[in-house]
Amino acid sequence: MEDKLVLLIVGSGGREFAIAKKLLESPKVETVYCAPGNIGMQTVGIKTVPIEEMDLDGLLKFAQDHEVDWTFVGPENVLCAGIVDKFEKAGEKIFGPNKRAAQLEGSKDYALRFMNKYGVPTAHHETFTSPEKCIDGLNHFDYPVVIKEDGLAGGKGVTIAKNQEVAQETIKEMFAGGQTQVVLEECLVGPEYSMFLVVSEDQYAILPMAQDHKRVGDGDQGPNTGGMGSYSPLPQLKSSQRQEMIDQVVEPTMNGLIKGEYHYCGVLYIGLMMTEDGPKVIEYNVRLGDPETQVVLPRLETDFAELVTKALNHEKLPEIVESSKKTLGVVVCANGYPTHPLHDALVGKLPDSDKVVIDYANVKGTLDNLIGDGGRLFMVISESDSLVKAQDNVYSYLSKLDLPNCFYRHDIGNRALKN
């Protein structure tokens, strides 16, 4: 009889909660560790490990000592720090791109140069290394203009400036805050979609697609966040449009990874906008997204552990089978998020429900007395026969909670329900 897998997940948020939970569903998996994890993970049998995600030496030693079959990396900062290179050098299997390939997320400028080189459609853009040149560069763009920090920003380093005054102030703040490069882009118009590829060298499989809600407030108002909620599938996306995305974006991207000898083995997220001129890439991420993972993985009927194992072994990837169910999730955040999130926000005990599940993120304390630890605290998710029912289930549950130090959006999924 084949030995069951012992796995390690790196990270602590809702994304890692969803990954570990999905892997535990597989009959091929015995144990899933998560480092450092969060207190809520014990509700679904995940074993948390008190090793910080950036302690690469500690993570490697744990994987070796506990005979971990393979490690799955959740957060982008750990990938950009080179954890994959370190593990592979030590002979340990790890799912994620190496440090070079991680620059596709680690630097907006690097990603845009990759797109230009391999013919991947994206917005008109320019990169600047000083505030003076960047402000002068505004003359090359119409308003609104998109201003992006070059480096990692947790999904929050993007400002859409409606006029010159806001643009200039944003540029000055970004450079004063330590940015050495700032990117200006034309503001594309159209619906945004999230596409996730499981990549293994020259082959890929596309996971169920989702739509994220980035702005902090209802009606897409306020600053960008790491994501306030999401849903899957996308009833408004035509199959012909999805095929356009594959032909015009996925194929040239894969061609670039192969020709550029990136030896990519991991997840590649493509943030897409369907414009009047066809699909265009907003950004690449080199890992699963949060909060999309929490609604994508429940719809994946293909054995996720088997999919990752085959990708790591460069074997033929299994066919992706999607559930007919619809999933929708709403993120609950600490007041003040994303700029100045409140820490130590009292959440208390979240009641059980047969209509929703909770994926925990930035929480501490005990399950009977949860305390928010800043930022996005947990996500309430429902899986149902329709998005309307899923949305009703989530908001009905949320309406019964007493969360004076927290907030959430009230319109997650409305874009799909209008169609």
Whole-number pLDDT of residue 158: 87
Whole-number pLDDT of residue 154: 65
Task: Identify the CA nearest to 216 among candidates 393, 316, 341.
Answer: 341
Whole-number pLDDT of residue 419: 53
Whole-angstrom distance, CA of residue 386 vs CA of residue 383: 8
Question: Are 149 and 157 a contacting pair, CB within 8 Å?
Answer: yes
Question: Are 324 and 351 a contacting pair, CB within 8 Å?
Answer: no
Whole-number pLDDT of residue 2: 73
Question: Are 79 and 287 a contacting pair, CB within 8 Å?
Answer: yes
Whole-angstrom distance, CA of residue 59 vs CA of residue 148: 32
Whole-angstrom distance, CA of residue 145 vs CA of residue 278: 20
- Look up tokens 């030590």; give the residue: 90
Question: Are 116 and 148 a contacting pair, CB within 8 Å?
Answer: no
Task: Identify the CA nearest to 350 among candidates 400, 300, 305.
Answer: 400
| Bridge partner list, 70 | 7
pLDDT in tens, the chain (419 residues): 578 999 999 999 999 999 999 999 999 999 999 999 999 999 999 999 999 999 999 999 999 999 999 999 999 999 999 999 999 999 999 999 999 999 999 999 999 999 999 999 999 999 999 999 999 999 999 999 999 999 887 666 889 999 999 999 999 999 998 889 999 999 999 999 999 999 999 999 999 999 999 999 999 999 889 999 999 999 999 999 999 999 999 999 999 999 999 999 999 999 999 999 999 999 999 999 999 999 999 999 999 999 999 999 999 999 999 999 999 999 999 999 999 999 998 899 999 999 999 999 999 999 999 999 989 999 999 999 999 999 999 999 999 999 999 999 999 999 888 65
Whole-angstrom distance, CA of residue 347 vs CA of residue 338: 18
> Two tokens at 343?
């820490």
Whole-angstrom distance, CA of residue 353 vs CA of residue 370: 17
Task: Give the count of alpha carbons within 13 A of 211, CB side only.
Answer: 22
Whole-angstrom distance, CA of residue 249 vs CA of residue 55: 35
What is the crossing angle of helices 108-118 and 99-106, to 10°? 100
* Distance in Å from the first CA to the final CA of the chain: 50
> Two tokens at 106?
């680690």
Residue 255: Cβ within 10 Å count: 14
Domains of the chain: 5-99 (3.40.50.20), 124-186 (3.30.1490.20), 189-312 (3.30.470.20), 326-417 (3.90.600.10)
Q: Rounded to two decimals, what is the model's pTM?
A: 0.95
Whole-number pLDDT of residue 255: 98
